[in-house]
Amino acid sequence: MAVSTSEHVLAPVQQRGQVALSRLGLPTRKDEAWRLTNLSRLEAVARMPISNVATASDAPPRMDGVVRLVLDGVNDPLEGVTLPEGLTPLEPKELELALGHSLDRCGWSDDWLIEFNHASAHQLLALRVRGTVPPLELVVAAASGLIATRVLLVVEEKAQLELLQVFSGRGEAAHSHLLEVHLGQEAQMNHGVLACADGLASLFAQLAVEQEPRSAYSLTSVVQGWSLGRIEPRVVQVDGQASTTLKGLAVADVEQQLAVHTSMCFEGPDGELDQLQKCLAAGRSHTIFNGAINVPRKAQRTNAAQLSRNLLLSDRARVDTKPELEIVADDVRCAHGATVSQLQEDELFYLRSRGIGASDAAVLLLRGACQEVVDLLPTHATAWRPLERVLEGLAS
């Protein structure tokens, strides 16, 4: 996609976004969606200048067979890249039709973060996926100012995609990222998000996923170390009969605030959801999980399970977790649960009784708690040493 096309398509979006932002104003605590958010940090991001320098990537060498695209806010991510068969940029006409479609289907309107991305995004990547393509890696690094990016993926009927998105952040920098995915019938997508930062940068990532029947979407998100982090996957099964898996890990330390807001909507019968969100809060950090599940009358025989597991690693850390189930259909199975605990005394004692020191035992248990989710990232994520990154962030 040439940058000029991006600009051509994005210009009206930016205008609309700016109008919407001035109408909406900054979120306040009165707004339920922002009640727990550190709004002074949000305001600092809102005032951040847009980055106009390409950030040098700290990416490890690309694994064989993986297609890596870098969104640096400035350069065309496809320049000098030969896309493999099955991956093609969307034509401008297709793009105009498709952009914003999944967002609408996910019911995302009048949302400050969405409009913030609309107003700021200056880089767009839009790809069509046909058949089975090699694993794809999208890398976005922020090191100064705001980097606002937008990605649109049209995954055709029966196509298969493995996507890893990597976000990193250093210093006074922030990401605003908006991803739209349309999964055709019987399409399969294994999606990983690995987002680690140094405790100073901020991240807003909104993911809108639209699933046709018999498609399978699996998201594994690993988020660690953002001053203010908010990741919001919204999935809609437009006709039910699809399978969705959402597995998340958020690890916060010091004064970081990490929020995960998920929304799952079944717009037809026989849909499935398997969801686990784990949050680890150390230091004086704060993690927030909000998991909405919507099962209207037409979504009979939905089978959904949501589990929120939280680990408080310090007396001063804070965990908020809220399942939000709206079930109208009567023939459904919807299980949900939430736990907040500290490192289990029995587990610690078991390890110590085998000669493992108290601090080593704690590290082993934390590693175990994180590994359960980290191991579900697409296999080529190992090049990024995800588990080590997450644990290093906790140790600091």
Partner 1 sequence: MIRPDAELLLDITDLHASVEDQPILKGVNLQVRSGEIHAVMGRNGSGKSTLSKVLAGHPAYRVTSGTVLYRGVNLFELEAEERARLGVFLGFQYPVEIPGVSNLEFLRVATNARRLKRNLEELDTFDFEDHVQERLKVVQMDPAFLERSVNEGFSGGEKKRNEILQMALLEPVVAILDETDSGLDIDALRIVAGGVNQLANADNATLLITHYQRLLDEITPDYVHVMASGRILRTGGRELALELEQTGYDWVDKELAAQGVA
Task: Point out which residues bind partner 1 (CB under 8 A).
Answer: 344-347, 349-358, 360-361, 364-365, 367-372
Quote the least distance from Cβ 102 to partner 1, whole Å: 34
In 3D space, the residue among 249, 248, 259, 280 whose CA is nearest the CA of residue 363 turns out to be: 280
Residue number, 8 or 367, with CB nearest to partner 1: 367
Strands 87-89 and 123-129: antiparallel
Quote the least distance from Cβ 353 to partner 1, whole Å: 5
SS3 (DSSP) at 230: strand
Residue number, 130 or 367, with CB nearest to partner 1: 367
Residue number, 87 or 369, with CB nearest to partner 1: 369
CA separation for the pair 310, 319 (Å, rounded) = 7
Residue number, 113 or 391, with CB nearest to partner 1: 391
Quote the least distance from Cβ 150 to partner 1, whole Å: 35
Q: What is the largest CA-CA distance in the chain?
A: 66
Residue number, 146 or 373, with CB nearest to partner 1: 373
Residue number, 141 or 390, with CB nearest to partner 1: 390
Sheet holding 303-312, edge to edge: 67-71, 136-142, 160-169, 188-197, 216-224, 243-252, 272-281, 303-312, 333-341
Residue number, 60 or 349, with CB nearest to partner 1: 349
What are phi and psi for residue 310, nearest 5 degrees? -125, 140
Tell me if 147 sits within 8 A of 51, measured CB to CB: yes
Quote the least distance from Cβ 341 to partner 1, whole Å: 13
Quote the least distance from Cβ 311 to partner 1, whole Å: 12
Quote the least distance from Cβ 152 to partner 1, whole Å: 35
Question: ∠ CA(82), CA(88), CA(91), 5° rounding?
Answer: 125
Query: Could you tell me the sign of the dihedral formed by the alpha carbons of 239, 155, 188, 190, in that order?
Result: negative
Quote the least distance from Cβ 335 to partner 1, whole Å: 18
The Cα-based distances of 304 to 192, 248, 273, 380 in angstroms read 21, 16, 4, 29
The Cα-based distances of 241 to 212, 237, 238 in angstroms read 8, 8, 9
